[in-house]
A and B are shown apart, each in its own frame.
Chain A
């Protein structure tokens, strides 16, 4: 247990050192990766813990990203303390409304209907003035963290922004970890394992799933918000099914139902993207192959690796 905590703290310490290198490119790349890690954790709440395979999670990511861009005045900074809760709240709200419909379906139908709603959202931003068309819109001035004249940190400063994102990642991780230990979280895991039995024990599972869907939407919104702030512009691509598929692959790659796995999945996925893209124009082909291999040979995802190593070590010991 303590070894786990130590490893987590070490990982945070290493991540915290990145901006100190002064490598702007890597800092931004890692900032993006941390944002995707938050996104992946939010989806893991649905896929890995509640058993709801959503193929439209990018919608909630994108809604929050657009919300920041739209809520910010053109040439002034909006207040972080207003736009962050507003965009996250909006994502959660959209997820709750969509959830009312999609949660009436199960299995493959659920996958398809979540995708359909995400496509709907995509075209709303793509084809109406709301989203500024396929070019997207710029977030000219990043939100300001000022509280009554005092500025605790500056999101325009890359290092500050990086630490803000790292802090959000830790907060979301701790928040989800805590929720999963709560009676509510235990019910979600029960629903994943055997929803029918949960109903016959008196749980109105629809409302629990809706709460999870809204929560996951809101947390995807946290990621979407941060993404918009990091890159300073938003495009409909943020809501595209590629984006929904990518985050699903991160969760699967990392090992469903494991928050550290979701983070690891985001890191490996972005890492592979970067590396393979330098090798070949057809990097997606290589990526696809790697993912198929991972699913075949590592069914529990990256999160299962420590257990495997431990078992093979113990197995080796007992053979003698």
Chain B
């Protein structure tokens, strides 16, 4: 970690998750730094989503600790983790399909100042939330679809919407589970641009299979196999690793960067 001189924002310290006899994650360590994109690679079933679920609070770890700026947050619920600045998107699109794009993101923005007791104020008159939502929609590249019902958007646009929702919660740590899955090449390229724009001010953990995208944005790559970290390091090291090539990349034709 010598090249990293700033403190890690989020640290997963030997987190383990067991489902009965199955060990989905064993002693996984991940450090996320502001301004860096950390990519989790691995074949299906390697435990990447389990890892993200533990970091986001959707799953409690069976063992190990999660630290945010040195503070232990292992016991926090998903909602509490969102409040301390950890935001996530899901592998399978997870939005409010009947709501407009604006309402999806406005709800995300409202979560920062909930004021549930103000039952006689009108949500649509809270200008700060609306402005924030519009800005995040713009930043995620969905500016032209603000008033669309989100359920009718294309798959790629729904993924962009998810990013906008994460942005609207002021997430400092973004956990993005396959944001490019199922996207066409145009949509992928747009999303990579969005990721590059977001990168300088945030710590990003990215689970992704699209190798072109991975090598375009990654600062660090961690390769997981069977729930364990096989190797972790800068992209060049991973690319050169014999173990990684054998375990995962060797059979992949897509690996020619």
Contacts and interface: CB of A to CB of B under 8 A. Distances in A.
Nearest to B162: A197
A193 B79 CA distance: 17
Interface string A179-190: 101111111001
B95 A187 contact: no
Interface stretch (A81-89, A145-153, A204-212): A204-212
A183 B58 CA distance: 25
Contacts of B126: 183
Interface in B110-157: 110-112, 114-124, 126
A202 B116 contact: no
A182 B118 contact: yes
A182 B95 contact: no
Interface in B77-117: 77-80, 82-83, 87-88, 94-99, 103, 106-108, 110-112, 114-117
B56 interface: yes
A199 B81 CA distance: 10
B110 A183 contact: yes
A193 B99 contact: yes
Nearest to B106: A186
B165 A178 contact: no
A130 B202 CA distance: 61
B123 A185 contact: yes
A181 B122 contact: yes
Interface string A192-226: 01101111111111011001000000000000000
B122 A202 contact: no
A202 B94 contact: no
Interface bin, chain A: 20 to 34
B96 to A, nearest CB: 5
B119 A178 contact: yes
A194 B94 contact: yes
B169 interface: yes
Given A200-B58, A202-B79, A202-B111, A183 B116 contact: yes
Contact of B111 (A194, A196, A201): A201
Nearest to B122: A181
Given A179-B119, A203-B114, A205-B79, A197 B58 contact: no
Contacts of B99: 190, 193
A199 B82 CA distance: 8
Interface string B145-177: 000000000000000000001000100000000
Contact of B121 (A182, A204, A208): A182
Contacts of A194: 94-96
A200 B78 contact: yes
A200 B116 contact: no
Given A183-B123, A186-B107, A186-B123, A199 B118 contact: no
Contact of B116 (A187, A190, A198, A201): A187
Nearest to B112: A202
Nearest to A178: B120
Nearest to B98: A193
A202 B82 contact: yes
Contact of B114 (A178, A179, A183, A197): A183
A182 B94 contact: no
A89 B9 CA distance: 47
A178 B121 CA distance: 8
A211 B83 CA distance: 20
A181 B124 contact: yes
Interface in B23-62: 56-58
Contacts of B103: 186
Contacts of A207: 116
Interface in A155-199: 178-179, 181-187, 190, 193-194, 196-199
Contact of A208 (B83, B108, B116): B116
Given A193-B99, A202-B83, A211-B116, A182 B122 contact: yes
A201 B107 contact: yes
Nearest to B121: A182
Contacts of A184: 116-119
B78 A182 contact: no
A96 to B, nearest CB: 15
A8 to B, nearest CB: 19
Nearest to A190: B107
Contacts of A199: 77-79, 82
9 contacts: A181-B123, A184-B118, A185-B119, A185-B123, A186-B106, A194-B96, A197-B95, A199-B78, A200-B57
5 smallest beta-carbon distances between A and B, as pairs: A202-B82, A202-B111, A184-B116, A186-B123, A193-B96
Given A187-B116, A199-B79, A202-B82, 5 more contacts: A181-B122, A182-B119, A193-B98, A197-B95, A203-B114
